[in-house]
Structure 1
Amino acid sequence: MSQAPESLTDLPTWRAESGAPAPRRVVRADDTLSADSAYRLACEGTGLLWQGDFHNARQLLQALMRRAERKPRKASKTAEAPPTPAQHFHLHRQALGQRARTLAMVLVPLNGDYTIPLRRAPDLRQACTEAWGPATGEACMVSLRELLGLVGAHEWRKKGLEIPALGDAPNNRIHPHYGVFSPVRGEYLDLVANTPLPNKTLAFDIGVGTGVLSALLAKRGVQRIVATDLDPRALTCARENLKRLQRIDKVELVQADLFPEGQAPLVVCNPPWVPARPSSPIEHAVYDEGSRMLRGFLSGLRAHLSPQGEGWLILSDLAEHLGLRSREELLGWIAEGGLTVLGRYDIRPRHGKAADASDPLHAARSQEITSLWRLGSAA
């Protein structure tokens, strides 16, 4: 039986985009550590600071993924009722969180210039700089899984994502930055592309993200767009995309929580669709704890609508099928905001998970509808 690695005391600075705390215990790991031993240590919350070949570290991470994906043994049959959709969702999130914590225990060192002091390590300085900014000169250690996420984001940023609603190639690509939600769900873009515009003089884009909706509104002929976001990364990403698409002259970017000053005849918002707690900053584009952004938009919309103006709320009903929010709650928030529903356009999702029966949330996803709610001020 192999002896457990010794715990290290003199460690580089911990870096985690997710905000996760550093492992309480860190041991030295290299090519001699078996995958089973590594998995046991990782499950215990022990960080494995890699000292060997970089490619072997990636292979170890893949081995841990396979072990983490093993189906648990079925519990003995009891008289307990099956979980509700909401309970099933939260159990699924807990399982994903535990899996992420385990896989995050494979650590790699980074020098102060973002080079990796390991054999056969690739040059990831550009990916690190894009995500974290210029190197500070301070060595650190980072989860290998997070580091590989930076590489994936760098490739998306370089390649871009084709958005058919923006027109013909090559001037229809959006390049998402690290930490900014990628517009992979094309159906909500189709809703914005095809809904009749109430006015083309001015629009507010609340939560600009990559800038895709601002670009789409500009393509449709809106003369001026004021786009807001609280995240500096999103504002930088939107500015670069709008410049590339030659739409920046029509868009003013403002750092703000929800609304800019003034009123507009069209106010568009695509908030996070699922009211659950994000586990990392990156998840804020998907999960909106307590429906904070949704409720803030609905409660403040009327004050920012011009007379006869429209607010466009783009929202999936997935949360309703998961039992996390009811249609009655949504309609109640609309009424409380002094708003009325002028109309609604619906579309079925086209993404792969909607038809994937093996997805743990397939029952809810198979019923999902994305809607563009046209809202106006109540009389």
Structure 2
Amino acid sequence: MSANPTIEWTDGDLTHSARWRSEAGSPPPRSVVVADDTLTADTAYRLASEGTALLWHGDFQNARQLLQAIARRVDRPPKKKKAAPATPIDAFNQHRQAQSQRARTLNALLIPIEPDYGIALRRAPDMRAACEQAYGPADDQPSVASLRELQGLVGAYEWRKKGVEIPALGERIHPHYGVFSPVRGEYLDLIAEAPLPATTLAFDIGTGTGVIAALLAKRGVERIVATDQDPRALACARDNIDRLGYAKRVSIVEADLFPEGRAPLIVCNPPWLPARPSSPLEHAIYDPESRMLKGFLAGLAAHLTPNGEGWLILSDLAEHIGLREHDTLTNAFSHAGLKVLDKRSIRPRHPKASDADDPLHAVRSREMTSLWRLGVAASDGPAS
């Protein structure tokens, strides 16, 4: 998709166009009809299911209600019950397929946006601040986005203002739009409790919000170099580190994995599932072909000081699903010239772990999150 794609539609005898906005990276819809308050929920659901987008020209609050009505129809149990998936990976693939189809249908309800990010619909709220945080400064072009995306922008805007309480840190982290929020606190508890090999220097690989770098600083590490290659993550990490008063001890560096030099402690919390993300926002969850995981392990020995430790934080959900063999990880350690010094594990506490109605409940109920303390194997250690 081009950097500035456009969406076109016909209203009467006139053809209109505007900039298409999709943070999920979806292409502009090919079929667009103008819709208003006279459109019924059943018709809207049918059109959306068939791939026709609905450009809303009616009351904004009615659009919100219509989206809820479409969602109820999407989530309605099928009349004929489907056979249970044969394997966990079948359940995973079916779940992702269903979620993708659900997103496509719900994203069909579109809202026109003014050049200043205002919305010229009756009873429309002021979303300009939320749009500016996600899209950047207004560029004086009218645009169109899905109502569902706009609701996500507003939700992220409020989360950024409110922040996420991190018990292990004793502070709040404020995630920016498009940066994965550290809502799974169990892995942070592992980092907070593992014995530090040194307090002089640490690398935080793929810092995201900067929460791990902040936690290491709180634990007394004198200097931390935190890396990421996503501009939003870099800005988010700098904001949080400055807010928490650690700017003199934490450096935020743009890098693909490792910064220059070596450190006695290198921490990495890569995406946990080796699968292809369906949108840019899913890169924090899905690591295609385990690229980040493999890159971290392959380069770890060369970036550790003698007797240094690499901390890998990873869930075993991929093994339970069948996306990764159970011995793949330990074989990868050996191949990279690494040895396991210790392994600390904890059960997740997020709501899905105990939700019996979740399609992946059978595998989530067995999930464990682990902190692997890795050292350089004696025979393959780097020269000092």
Question: If the length of structure 2 is used for normalisation, what is the TM-score?
Answer: 0.94
Return closer, same or farther for 1:217/1:267 CA change in 2, 3 Å cut-off.
same
Return closer, same or farther for 1:111/1:374 CA change in 2, 3 Å cut-off.
same
Structure 2 CA distance, aligned partners of 1:245 and 1:7?
57
Deviations 1:30-59 (A, max 9, x none): 000000000110011111000000000000
Deviation at 1:7, TM superposition (A): 10
Structure 2 CA distance, aligned partners of 1:211 and 1:201?
18
The answer on 1:227 being equivalent to 2:226 is yes
Structure 1 CA distance, aligned partners of 2:12 and 2:326?
55
Letter of the structure 2 residue corresponding to residue 100 of structure 1: A
Return closer, same or farther for 1:8/1:330 CA change in 2, 3 Å cut-off.
farther
Letter of the structure 2 residue corresponding to residue 134 of structure 1: P
Letter of the structure 1 residue corresponding to residue 196 of structure 2: L
Structure 2 CA distance, aligned partners of 1:60 and 1:110?
19
Letter of the structure 2 residue corresponding to residue 322 of structure 1: I
Gaps of 5+ in 1: none
Structure 2 CA distance, aligned partners of 1:96 and 1:324?
18
Structure 2 CA distance, aligned partners of 1:344 and 1:52?
57
Letter of the structure 1 residue corresponding to residue 166 of structure 2: I
Structure 2 CA distance, aligned partners of 1:201 and 1:181?
28
Deviations 1:220-264 (A, max 9, x none): 000000000010100110111111111111111111111101110
Say if 1:6 and 1:27, in contact at 8 Å, map to a contact too. Answer: no
Return closer, same or farther for 1:40/1:332 CA change in 2, 3 Å cut-off.
same
For 2:114, which of 111, 114, 120 is the aligned residue?
111
SS at structure 2 position matched to 1:58:
helix
After superposition, the CA RMSD in angstroms is 1.4
Moved over 6 A (4+): 5-8
Partner residue in 2 for 1:146 = 149
Partner residue in 2 for 1:47 = 53
Mapping for residues 13-92 of structure 1, pairs under 5 Å: 13-74=19-80, 82-92=85-95
Partner residue in 2 for 1:215 = 214
Deviation at 1:76, TM superposition (A): 7.8
Percent of paired sites with the same residue? 68
Deviation at 1:75, TM superposition (A): 5.4
The answer on 1:121 being equivalent to 2:124 is yes
Deviations 1:181-218 (A, max 9, x none): 00000100000000000000000000011010000000
Letter of the structure 2 residue corresponding to residue 177 of structure 1: H
For 2:102, which of 99, 102, 110 is the aligned residue?
99
Say if 1:23 and 1:46, in contact at 8 Å, map to a contact too. Answer: yes
Letter of the structure 1 residue corresponding to residue 264 of structure 2: P
Say if 1:267 and 1:305, in contact at 8 Å, map to a contact too. Answer: yes
Letter of the structure 1 residue corresponding to residue 72 of structure 2: R
Say if 1:106 and 1:144, in contact at 8 Å, map to a contact too. Answer: yes
Question: If the length of structure 1 is used for normalisation, what is the TM-score?
Answer: 0.95
The answer on 1:306 being equivalent to 2:305 is yes
Partner residue in 1 for 2:3 = none
Deviations 1:51-106 (A, max 9, x none): 000000000100010000011233587xxx94211111011100000000010000
Structure 1 CA distance, aligned partners of 2:97 and 2:18?
30
Aligned residue-pair number = 368
